[in-house]
């Protein structure tokens, strides 16, 4: 019996969910390694599904369509190339864009044009304001597309975080619309289980976007481990990378990385402090695995 036939038989014997996950993982790797983003029809044919069915499966597991995933991956490569001191033109081709016009046509994926990104967000307007909340001071920063940063901290520490991330952007005063968004964020901090309805300008690599999308699908009142989160995005061996993506989340509460705990149930390891994480979990009524085990043990005594 041929090796190919053996592989086919093994695939047929796997649970359907595991086979689908493997198919989507293979498609993600295909997108990541391709010089030119493969067409949906090609990906679907390789997977053995119709284009429409494959697209639904891909989006259900990854959280993005194949086209969005490819754009996010190229955006990450372009950002890396721009930060590596290459010229804008060299960086565009290095990232897999066939022409500079393609990169500028998808400028919204970077949040700004490649030239502006290369120059530290030169010319982009970032509006920000801070307000007291029950967990200290919270800062909200926005672009034309939506909220791009939500940070907790001491008042004097917050503005430098914006200028560090967007070193050459124009930081402008808050306006009435931002005042309304600030109140929505404060309300979300006080009642995180109410859900987030904020317009978000989320910027990250393709992998980070997968992790953050998975975070936003964790219901309030529930927690998952980093290992479980890694499994949910189809990369169970990437636990450390998942933890790093959580640590790089720049949208506190809106992207609820506070709902991820250690395998032991320990709720430590939050970039804005363990006390804030515990407070958010308490407000949602979340119980970690460790707390559930203690409660179960007490019930049987």
> Which positions are catalytic?
257
- What is the C-alpha to C-alpha distance for residues 20 and 14, in angstroms, rounded to an integer? 10
For residue 30, report the phi and psi dihedrals to the nearest 5 degrees: -60, -45
The answer for residues whose C-beta is within 8 angstroms of residue 261's C-beta and 6 or more apart is 223, 224, 225, 267, 288, 289
- What is the C-alpha to C-alpha distance for residues 141 and 120, in angstroms, rounded to an integer? 16
Of 98, 64, 68, 93, the closest CA to residue 78 belongs to 93
Strand blocks (E) in 28-166 = 125-133, 136-142, 147-153
The answer for residues whose C-beta is within 8 angstroms of residue 269's C-beta and 6 or more apart is 243, 247, 262, 277
Measured over all CA atoms, what is the biggest interatomic distance in the chain, rounded to whole angstroms?
71
Collapsed DSSP state (helix, strand, coil) of residue 204: coil
Question: The sheet that has 170-172: what strands, in order across it?
Answer: 147-153, 136-142, 125-133, 170-172
Q: Tell me the β-bridge partners of 172.
A: 127
- What is the C-alpha to C-alpha distance for residues 249 and 150, in angstroms, rounded to an integer? 9
For residue 167, report the phi and psi dihedrals to the nearest 5 degrees: -60, -25
The answer for residues whose C-beta is within 8 angstroms of residue 185's C-beta and 6 or more apart is 131, 133, 138, 140, 147, 150, 198, 253, 254
- What is the C-alpha to C-alpha distance for residues 56 and 50, in angstroms, rounded to an integer? 10
């Amino acid at each position: 019996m041929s090796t190919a036939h053996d592989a086919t038989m093994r695939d047929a014997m796997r649970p359907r969910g595991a086979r689908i996950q493997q198919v989507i993982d293979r498609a993600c790797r295909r997108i990541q390694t391709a010089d030119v983003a493969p067409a949906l029809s090609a990906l679907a044919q390789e997977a053995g599904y119709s284009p429409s069915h494959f697209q639904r499966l891909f989006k259900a597991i990854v959280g993005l369509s194949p086209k969005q995933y490819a754009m996010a991956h190229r955006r990450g490569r372009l950002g890396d190339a721009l930060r590596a001191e290459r010229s804008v033109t060299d960086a565009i081709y290095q990232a897999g864009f066939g022409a500079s016009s393609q990169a500028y046509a998808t400028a919204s994926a970077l949040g700004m044009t490649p030239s502006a990104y290369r120059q530290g967000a030169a010319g982009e307007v970032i509006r920000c304001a801070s307000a007291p909340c029950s967990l200290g001071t919270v800062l909200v920063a926005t672009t034309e597309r939506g909220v791009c940063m939500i940070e907790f901290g001491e008042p004097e520490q917050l503005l430098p975080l914006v200028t560090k991330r967007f070193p050459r952007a124009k930081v402008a005063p808050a306006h009435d619309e931002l005042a309304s968004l600030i109140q929505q964020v404060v309300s979300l901090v006080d009642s995180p289980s109410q859900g987030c309805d904020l317009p978000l300008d989320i910027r990250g690599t393709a992998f980070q976007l997968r992790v953050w999308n998975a975070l936003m699908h964790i219901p309030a009142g529930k927690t998952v481990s980093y290992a479980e989160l890694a499994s949910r995005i189809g990369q169970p061996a990437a636990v450390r990378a998942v933890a790093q993506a959580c640590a790089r989340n720049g949208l506190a509460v809106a992207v609820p990385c506070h709902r991820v705990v250690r395998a032991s149930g320990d709720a430590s390891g939050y970039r804005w402090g363990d006390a804030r994480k515990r407070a958010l979990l308490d407000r949602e009524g979340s119980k970690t695995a460790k707390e559930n085990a203690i409660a179960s043990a007490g019930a049987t005594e």
